[in-house]
Amino acid sequence: MESANVAKKLILESVPTARIDAMKLDLSSLNSVRTFADKFIATSLPLNILINNAGVMFCPYQLSADGIEMQFATNHLGHFYLTNLLLEKMKNTANETGIEGRIVNLSSIAHLHTYGEGILFDGINDQTRYNDKKAYGQSKLANILHSNELSRRLQEEGAHVTVNSVHPGLIMTNLMRHSFHFMKVVQLFTYICWKNVAQGAATTCFVALHPSLKGVTGKYFLDCNEMQPSNLAGDQRIAKKLWEFSEKLIKSAQS
């Protein structure tokens, strides 16, 4: 919350007329997600845009408060649950205002580097099979699969809400805290590919706001251009299985 309030202050210094509320949300905790969603809905504010941007990266094996592998719990499951809890509010806002709702899931090019089968449905918490980098790739693959399956469902019901995923690019932020020295070496040899924070935010803002993307849904973007993700990311069977798997995990964690 301290960081959020610092960001709020900086924005207000640049745009004094902005109206900003900072609310606490821990995406690794399903209880925190539920509490946040309830509080937000209680404000009766409209919801036009949802950017699912939280993440942990390459962390040592650990379980969330709900007993789920931390990278999968934070990067995918928390966002999956949050989106589902806020979805009716988004659909209602779109219907009431006539303005298209947009959901943006931040994935990563790291979705290409995951476990062989994509998602370890039979061993999501298996410490013996855990690889910090593949587990991160798995969670980023899950972000795209979630986007695609939600997009399909919303199109099927005719909802005025789009869902897309993006790779923001390589950016040296606190996300790298578990692999700082490793990533500094990588950066040394790939410096031309790295972006500053503003450049890294560009694709997310483009997908969330640009008029040219009206009605565009179920796509993956890199550098403000639509790109083709991996074959696993485009597999509808895996996407449906992940949706059902995620629902069961949430139900099991809350029982």
Dist CA 140 CA 15 (whole Å): 33
Dist CA 95 CA 108 (whole Å): 31
Dist CA 61 CA 135 (whole Å): 9
Contact 79, 54 (CB under 8 A): yes
Dist CA 33 CA 130 (whole Å): 26
Contact 110, 95 (CB under 8 A): no
Dist CA 205 CA 67 (whole Å): 34
- If we measure between CA atoms, which residue out of 146, 113, 80 comes closest to residue 230? 113
CA distances (Å), origin 127, targets 97, 111, 230, 240: 48, 20, 26, 25
Catalytic residues: 130
Sign of CA dihedral 58, 62, 68, 73: negative
